[in-house]
Structure 1
């Protein structure tokens, strides 16, 4: 399949048994779901500009997340024994990559990932791997935060062959190592992301009017309290206009917020990246003015945390 092509594969193989992987370190399963027929995006290569080459596969989809007592183990040390177990069970290795080779932020947010706090992906330290056996697919995302590891596995089998899944009753542990300062800091410490809801942009506008923005002041406080943490500012638009123009507008909105954070609050430039995702991640409907206004926003995402 040529890079960048979007394909839909319907799995017709005989129902396969559950894929049971033993985690290489002490672990607790914090999320599990099984659907008799659903779709799952499988990356077949790294980001190519703003596009991710994928195959969209359909069948029974079983997704699990484990949190591991990783200690000093690297993401490769966590992934390697899982990969070896799959290969020994007859799976063939497909595409795999790590962090910036994958495409960093853009790659991670193009995938089907369970949201925090169950699954946390450190955008400065993660690995991705795919496997194929007959017409079954298996994907893994492995990341870590401080001494805690995160592993998301997704198995796509024949339609209707739903695996029995159970979710652990243990409490979900949020990414460690962050001081929760203020409302935004609390959200970032718990889930890794927050909306900067007082940054208001008219349709088509990329500049923030001169004002005091409480959300940026709070974000600056959070970054000062967590001097090793880095973040990404992610711009969004409503659905007015074309995709290419909105991608550029959303990036410039994030750039406007970053300029205030750096120039107005003295945050080091290398601690704040900017990205734009256009109208591809709405939080409200785009057929009302209230919905469009909500979609024109900037979010902050934690990209790395201190050990």
Structure 2
């Protein structure tokens, strides 16, 4: 091979290496100031149905993808609308070379049908108001992701689900710190008169008045206003069901706390079934221990807030 030919060959190899490095460079996504990470879930090799259209009679059109699946959620304090949060993220993705496949807002998406036809990280790590959310899906080569932004109460919530080849680095999501950590401000349970409205708007509520002592799962009182309100809501809305989710503080081992939180959820279900006659098939139960705090576990007040039970709204399965 001539000297000129050797130089050309080396140049071509270097060029290919540079292009390869550029294509696999770690992309970044900058979130609004004060965004607090709530959950990170990773499946080394799995599948994800990437939504690519509005809800139809047959369901939500999806593109089935395989690869490494990352699911992350954040809570964002402030008064920004969901579109004010989504628009800068969309622009960053486009600047990084992503193609926007599909985007919609709540009514355009299909409202309730779209929300419950796509994958959403369970509450309280993600909250979706049926009438106030935006969704976006995008792809870049073999990488794909979806963004779901919604406001619930005083906060906004962001979900990012990413699918990528197993060996590629994931999207780097940066969240500038705020002066106050949102985790230091526990959410208050809603007034009982507002419980049904909050369920419909936010998709979940804290059931107030269920004051569990550390390590206890028994309901001591005969009546609870929050459970009365929940039973009334289910009676008036036969098209819905709920998942009752128990939570604990960080005292004790994780598995013990998961078991305890589930027993608390089961105690709530038993009360609704036995005292208010709610059908058993309309109430499912789960326990997550201390994996989803709403306050810091470093203070007495935070631990008390974390010992709670929530109701998550789901569509009722018909026989």
For this structure pair, what is the TM-score category when the shorter chain's length is used for normalisation? 0.5 to 0.7
Q: What RMSD over aligned residues (CA atoms) do the two structures have, in Å?
A: 4.4
Q: In the TM superposition, what are the counterparts of 1:204-283 in structure 2 within 5 Å? A: 218=226, 221=229, 257-258=235-236, 274=239
Distance (Å, rounded) in 2 between the aligned partners of 1:89 and 1:45: 23
Report the alpha carbon displacement of residue 100 of structure 1 after superposing the two structures with TM.
2.2
Report the alpha carbon displacement of residue 164 of structure 1 after superposing the two structures with TM.
9.2
Q: In the TM superposition, what are the counterparts of 1:173-188 in structure 2 within 5 Å? A: 176=187, 178-179=189-190, 181=192
Q: SS of the residue aligned with 2:124?
A: coil
In the alignment, which residue of structure 1 is the partner of 2:256? none
Q: SS of the residue aligned with 2:92?
A: helix
Question: 1:106–1:21: structure 2 CA closer, same or farther, 3 Å change rule?
Answer: same
- Bigger Rg, structure 1 or 2: 2
Deviations 1:147-166 (A, max 9, x none): 21101111211134364989
Is 1:22 the counterpart of 2:22 in the alignment?
no
Distance (Å, rounded) in 2 between the aligned partners of 1:217 and 1:180: 9
Question: 1:16–1:34: structure 2 CA closer, same or farther, 3 Å change rule?
Answer: farther
Contact residue 33 and residue 165 of structure 1 kept, 8 A: no
In the alignment, which residue of structure 1 is the partner of 2:212? none
Is 1:134 the counterpart of 2:145 in the alignment?
no
Report the alpha carbon displacement of residue 40 of structure 1 after superposing the two structures with TM.
1.3
* Greater displacement, 50-59 / 13-22: 13-22
Distance (Å, rounded) in 2 between the aligned partners of 1:93 and 1:180: 41
In the alignment, which residue of structure 1 is the partner of 2:52? 44
Q: In the TM superposition, what are the counterparts of 1:1-307 in structure 2 within 5 Å? A: 16-71=24-79, 73-161=80-168, 163=170, 176=187, 178-179=189-190, 181=192, 192=204, 218=226, 221=229, 257-258=235-236, 274=239, 296-297=281-282, 301=312
Question: 1:154–1:49: structure 2 CA closer, same or farther, 3 Å change rule?
Answer: same
Q: SS of the residue aligned with 2:29?
A: coil
Report the alpha carbon displacement of residue 41 of structure 1 after superposing the two structures with TM.
1.5
Report the alpha carbon displacement of residue 146 of structure 1 after superposing the two structures with TM.
2.7
TM-score, structure 1 normalization: 0.55
Question: 1:171–1:177: structure 2 CA closer, same or farther, 3 Å change rule?
Answer: closer
Report the alpha carbon displacement of residue 118 of structure 1 after superposing the two structures with TM.
1.3
Question: 1:177–1:17: structure 2 CA closer, same or farther, 3 Å change rule?
Answer: farther
Contact residue 30 and residue 172 of structure 1 kept, 8 A: no
Which structure has more helix as a fraction of its residues? 2
5+ residue gaps, structure 1, are 1-12, 196-213, 225-230, 234-256, 259-271, 277-293
Distance (Å, rounded) in 2 between the aligned partners of 1:95 and 1:174: 35
Q: SS of the residue aligned with 1:101?
A: helix
Q: SS of the residue aligned with 2:239?
A: strand
Count of matched residue pairs = 210
Report the alpha carbon displacement of residue 85 of structure 1 after superposing the two structures with TM.
0.5
Contact residue 47 and residue 106 of structure 1 kept, 8 A: yes
In the alignment, which residue of structure 1 is the partner of 2:288? none
Q: SS of the residue aligned with 1:296?
A: helix
Report the alpha carbon displacement of residue 70 of structure 1 after superposing the two structures with TM.
2.6
* Greater displacement, 49-58 / 214-223: 214-223
